[in-house]
Amino acid sequence: MNNKKLRLVSWNVNGLRAAVKKDFLKSMEQLDADVLMLQETKLSEDQRTDEMLLVDGYDSHWAYSSVKKGYSGVAAYTRPVPLAVAPGIGIERFDNEGRILELDFEDFILFNVYFPNGQMSDERLQYKMDFYEAFFAHADRLRKKGRSLVITGDFNTAHNEIDLKNPKPNSKRSGFLPVEREVLDRLVERGYVDTFRHFNPDTVKYSWWSYRFNARANNAGWRIDYFFVTQDIIDKGWVTRTFIDNDILGSDHCPVGIELTL
């Protein structure tokens, strides 16, 4: 993989079956990712179609919810062949909703994560906080072994006021609670870098819009989809571009991405 350019893209498709009906494959071709990571596929294994599985030039990897059908789920389409792929972090409580794929590309480990939404109840908010803690403890163990990490997906949290249209009215809503924002503060303190914000400190751009109130047309959105990398990847100059592609439709989220030169 040395001296190669890699385009990594992440997209919460809010149901892959629905996305396929909205020109997903055409959008996938347009995105031209070397690795495309999807969240919220809402699929069980037997619901995948040949159209989803047999995409020219790509292998696909999947994680499914075992607790509820048509819920959660992540997938990755890869041109380069990963050395290993693991669905989850080895903790049943956090793996059984199909929220994590770990792909080892030798030079770095790539995580595709659909972090939980905490809006439904206090119990789900606590689950979200516990999930953050367990996942990043797993990530830290890999860092201590000398691994470089790329972590992408729907984090379900806007970090700072610049990352959502209406910060004050949402400050008591899960997704922008102080306790959730502090998790992202601590990640930055621990040497994880939000690539988009690192290269675009003052840019206002969103990756998710409510289906209500004509939010996307009015650009009343949230930036909750991220690419975080370990500091060493920044230091080595591997990240050459970051982007949020507002022009790709078909979901309430849009794709986000980075380009690496190794």
C-beta of residue 144 within 8 angstroms of C-beta of residue 106: no
d(CA 170, CA 210): 13
- What pLDDT, in 10s, does the model give residues 211-239? 999 999 999 999 999 999 999 999 999 99
CATH superfamily for domain 5-261: Endonuclease/exonuclease/phosphatase (3.60.10.10)
pLDDT given at position 163:
98
d(CA 149, CA 246): 26
Q: Catalytic: 253? A: yes
| pLDDT surpasses 90 at 192 | yes
Q: Does the annotation place 3 within a ligand binding site?
A: no
C-beta of residue 13 within 8 angstroms of C-beta of residue 38: yes
Q: Catalytic: 194? A: no
Q: Does the annotation place 252 within a ligand binding site?
A: yes
What is the average pLDDT score of the chain?
97
Mean pLDDT of all residues in 120-141: 97
- What pLDDT, in 10s, does the model give residues 159-168? 999 999 999 9
pTM for this entry: 0.97
Dihedral sign computed on CA atoms, order 185, 189, 195, 196:
positive
- Residue of 34, 154, 163, 225 with catalytic role: 154
d(CA 3, CA 6): 10
C-beta of residue 163 within 8 angstroms of C-beta of residue 221: no
- What pLDDT, in 10s, does the model give residues 36-74? 999 999 999 999 999 999 999 999 999 999 999 999 999
Q: Does the annotation place 12 within a ligand binding site?
A: yes
The residue extents of the domains of the chain are 5-261
| pLDDT surpasses 80 at 109 | yes
Give the pLDDT band (50/70/90) at residue 257: very high
CB-based contacts of 29: which residues, under 8 Å, 6+ apart?
none
